[in-house]
Amino acid sequence: MQSFRARFRQFAEIIAAALFAAMFAAFLVQVFARYILNNPISWTQELVLILYIWIVFWCAAFLLRERDHITFDMAFEALPPGARRRLAIVLSGIIAIAFVVGLPGTIDYVMFMKIEKSPVLRIRFDLLYSIFAVFLVAVIVDAVIRIKRLMGPSWNEELSARQDID
C-alpha cells in the first residue's frame, strides 16, 4: 500500500508541475504580447486563471498534508494523548460528514454549470470546476483513512506523524 501511495503522490506532483509549467508559459506569453508586442491577448489571462484554480485544488487534494496547514493547536497539544486521539477522531469525522453532506449539492451544481462556458476559451464550466468535486472526495477519503488509523493499534504513530516536520 505504501508503494501505491508513493507512486500516486509522485504522479500528483508531476501533474501539479505540468499545470504550473503551463500556467507560467501562458503568463510569459501574456507578458510578451502585452509589453513587447504591445498587443495584449485575452486567452492567456483566462488560461492562467483556470490553471491556477486547478493547481490550488489539485495540490490541496493530493499533495498538501495536514501538517502543512497553518493551525492553532496549543489547546490540542496540551491534551493527553488519549484525549488528542478522541478529539482527532471527532474532528476528522465532522470534516468527513460535512464534506459528504456537501458533495451531492456540489456535484449537482458543477454538472449544472455545463450550460455556461468561459468567455474566451469557450470551455464548459462543469469541466473547469470539476476539480472542486475531486477535492471534496479526496478530503473525505483522507478523513476516513485518518479515522481508521486513529482507531487502529498504532494510533499514537498517526498523531505523531501529523506533527513531524520533514
pTM: 0.85
In a 3-state reduction of DSSP, which class is residue 72?
coil
pLDDT digit of tens for each residue in the chain (166 aa)? 568 888 999 999 999 999 999 999 999 999 999 999 999 999 999 999 999 999 999 999 999 887 777 777 778 777 888 888 898 899 999 999 999 999 999 999 999 999 999 999 999 999 999 999 999 999 999 999 999 999 988 887 777 765 544 3
Cα separation, 134 vs 56, whole angstroms: 12
Same domain flag for 73 and 35 = no
Domain total of the chain: 2
Domain membership of residue 159 as a residue range: 68-166
Last residue of a domain, one of 12, 38, 64: 64
φ, ψ at 124 (rounded to 5°): -60, 140
**Residue 63 has which C-alpha cell?**
499533495
φ, ψ at 158 (rounded to 5°): -65, -40
Same domain flag for 127 and 150 = yes
Cα separation, 33 vs 36, whole angstroms: 6
Same domain flag for 72 and 60 = no
Same domain flag for 59 and 82 = no
Same domain flag for 92 and 54 = no
Same domain flag for 7 and 49 = yes
